[in-house]
Structure 1
C-alpha cells in the first residue's frame, strides 16, 4: 500500500512512499515535469523510429520473403536459393537486428528528451 506525503494543498507535489522497510530512493526525477513541446517531440521521434523499423520489417518479411522470392531464388547462397534462405533464416537475423537497433535508438531518444532512467 502506498501513502502520499505532502501534496495536501501546500503547493508541493505528492510523494508516495511504500509502507514497510522497502522505500524507493527519490532523486531529481521525482520533481521533473516535461513541457508539452518536449512530450510531443518525444512521441514524434518515437513514432518516426517505429515507422522506419516497421517499414524495414515489412520489406524484409513480405518483400524479400514473398514478393521478390522468385528473382532471389536465381542466386545461390551457401548452397541454397537466396529467396528460400532469406525467408527461412535471413529475415530472422534482420528481426533480431531491428530489436537491437530499437533498444539503442530509444535509449538515445530517452536521453535527448530527458525521460531516461539514469
Structure 2
C-alpha cells in the first residue's frame, strides 16, 4: 500500500543536509514544536494559557520554542500595550498549513500508539 502512495513520486533527497525536509524537521521535528502548533491551531493563546495547557513543558523550553517558531514564520506574537504587557500567540498563514499534516499524525498516533509501546 505504501508503495502505491509513492509510486509516481520521485524519491526525495532527504539524505542531504540541504534537503528541505531536513530543514523543516530541524524546526518542527521536536515534540514541543508540534504540540505548540497543534495547540495554537484551535485558538490564539497567551503565554500562560500555553504553559497551563501543555503539560510537562518548562518555561524555558516554551519560550525558546515559541521564539524559534516565530523566527521561522510559523507563529505570530502580538504584544498589547498594557501593564504588565499582554502577549498573544497565534499561527501565521504558513503555520496554519501544518495543521492538516499534524492532524493526520495525531490521528495515526491515536490509532497505533498501542502497537508501538
TM-score range, shorter chain: under 0.3
**TM-score computed with the length of structure 2 as normaliser:** 0.24
**TM-score computed with the length of structure 1 as normaliser:** 0.24
Structure with higher Rg: it is 1
Larger RCO, structure (CA 8 Å, separation 6 or more): 2
